[in-house]
Amino acid sequence: MAHEISDITGVHEMFYVNDEKPWHGLGTPVGEALTSEEAIQAAHLEWEVEKRKVYFKKDDGTFIETKAYSTVRTDVEIPLGIVSERYMTIQNREAFSFMDTLVGTKEAKLITAGALFNGEKIWMLCKIPGTLVIKGMDTVDKYLLLFNSHHGRSGCKVLITPIRVVCNNTLRIALQKAEVSVNIHHIGNIQHKVVEAQRILGITIDYYTQIEETFRTFANREMTEDDIKYYMLSVIPGDSDYFKKVREKVRELHDIGIGSDMAAGTLWGAYNACVEFVDHQNVSKRKNPDRYIENITFGRGADIKTRAYEKALELVRLNN
């Protein structure tokens, strides 16, 4: 499976709009943004998942029924995860339909979608019109990332995902406030939660206004040498030589990384140095392509980016 993009059926299960071509170049290119149904077809995600009973095979060849279930991708008959009796599937079409309220009113454009790990994880990325402007020419594009899993270890989530244009830093931000949180568990009344998710997605445009103000606050917060050391230690803690080297690299990116000429010496610069390390330094696209997408979007790297944002907010509050 190249680059973790699922190709179990012989085609890469992903699409992208031509002018948003991903670094690996995999998937089906299309000429314009799609509806969720068109995205499902272009990314070859028409398949569904069923929940099936798990049985234990004894040494004598007989089977015993267990309390566990397996999620099974029905088109290729492969298991994707082990789940409980309460677990309810959210099909790809159901998950993608969450975005239709935005796309249908032209407030957002679907620019890429796909599957990872034979279909264990599904994502869709929407671009929202307009940009955030942080100190003159430092611009940030606005995106929403929808993520659904079929392996039973996480629910369906929507993440605000601004991307700093100058360096292509993906500034992953979870919607954690109760009034804007989108975290749909695979338990209970799924259809009710779909309706609620559609309502919540409609207010994320306004939430981006708050984020713009937050980023500007980061840019206006000057950092001393001690401030920078404290911040980077809080984002990347640890006393081993490895963590010390990581912090040294992040400090270097703060000084000479892409976009540092616009942000060095500020909290905005320190925050972006942490993100740049994850997106462009920690896992090589060329040497480790099978880990790259997972790391920056859902894995440990994504956790570092979220922590970098949260710790930056804490520093701002300490000075208010």
154 near 284, Cβ under 8 Å? no
The per-residue pLDDT for range 152-193, each reduced to its tens digit, is: 887 777 778 899 999 888 887 765 543 444 556 555 565 665
- The yes-or-no verdict on residue 199 having pLDDT over 80 is no
pLDDT at site 187: 58
Percent of the chain with pLDDT over 70: 79
259: left (phi over 0), alpha (psi -120 to 50) or beta: left
- pLDDT (0 to 100) of residue 225: 93
What does the alpha-carbon distance between residue 165 and residue 170 come to, in Å, rounded to a whole number? 9
pLDDT of 24: 60
pLDDT tens per residue, range 137-152 = 899 999 888 888 999 8
Which band of pLDDT confidence, cut at 50, 70 and 90, is reported for residue 130? confident
| Residue 206 pLDDT exceeds 60 | yes
Percent of the chain beyond pLDDT 90? Answer: 45
For residues 105 and 99, give the distance between their C-alpha atoms in angstroms, rounded to a whole number. 10
Mean pLDDT rounded to a whole number for the chain? 83
CA distance 189 to 194: 9
In order, the DSSP letters of the chain are -GGGB--TTSS--EEEEGGG--TT--SEEESS-B-HHHHHHHTT----EEEEEEEEEPTTS-EEEEEEEEEEETTTTEEEEEE-TT-----HHHHHHTTHHHHHTTS-EEEEEEEEGGGTEEEEEEEEEEEEEETTTEEEEEEEEEEEESSSSS-EEEEE--EETTTTEE--EE--STTT--EE-SSS-HHHHHHHHHHHHTTHHHHHHHHHHHHHHHHH-B--HHHHHHHHHHHS---SHHHHHHHHHHHHHHHHSTTHHHHTTBHHHHHHHHHHIIIIIIS-TTT-HHHHHHHHHTSHHHHHHHHHHHHHHHHHHHT-
Q: How confident is the model at residue 1 (pLDDT cuts 50, 70, 90)?
A: very low
Predicted confidence (pLDDT) per residue in 212-271, tens digit:
999 999 999 999 999 999 999 999 999 999 999 999 999 999 999 999 999 999 999 999
**Full-model pTM:** 0.81
